[in-house]
Amino acid sequence: MTFEKATAQDTGMLTELRIAYLQEDLGEIEAADLKLIESLLPGYYEKHLNKDLMVYVARNEKDIVSCAFLLIVEKPMSPSFITGKTGTVLNVYTKPEYRKKGYAKKLMNMMLEDAKAENVSNIELKATEDGYSLYRSVGFEDVVAKYHNMRISL
């Protein structure tokens, strides 16, 4: 098993893994939405990969069997993120037949080391029940805040 950052040549496999992750997390995706995701994701990866999107992969030969994405955003500085750089973990996914072997944990540790080297102040994520213990094991903690987590869909 090889653990490394993804490259531009991986966009096809990363698209497949993203869709597998979304389908497992959200259930069935409408055909039109799935087609749109499949058509736009490769261009997104080409534009962002190894710039503000770091993707860590575990390879079995040439096949990517596990991945973890880190999206880095730079904001105006604050005491909460003193360097202005924050990260969001996305799409931690391991193919079912490769789970419970420590691959995602290895990728998360690689990610955290790189984020420290890049002066990222903090990293956040939303954990599923299945992923919760993994994230706790690498140092993530539950956040209790005076703010409400809100969003609007446009």
pLDDT tens digit sequence for 114-129: 999 999 999 999 999 9
113 has a pLDDT exceeding 90: yes
| Spatial contact of 108 and 68, defined as CB atoms under 8 Å apart | yes
| Spatial contact of 60 and 45, defined as CB atoms under 8 Å apart | no
- What pLDDT, on a 0 to 100 scale, did the predictor assign at position 149? 82
Q: What SS3 state is found at 69?
A: strand
What is the 3 state secondary structure string of 40-63?
HHHHHHHHHECCCEEEEEEEECCE
Distance in angstroms (rounded) separating the CA atoms of residues 48 and 26:
24
The whole-model pTM stands at 0.92
Residue 8: C-alpha distances to residues 49, 100, 121, 141 (Å): 7, 28, 27, 33
Q: Tens digits of per-residue pLDDT, 29-53? A: 999 999 999 999 999 999 999 999 9
- What pLDDT, on a 0 to 100 scale, did the predictor assign at position 146? 87
13 has a pLDDT exceeding 90: yes
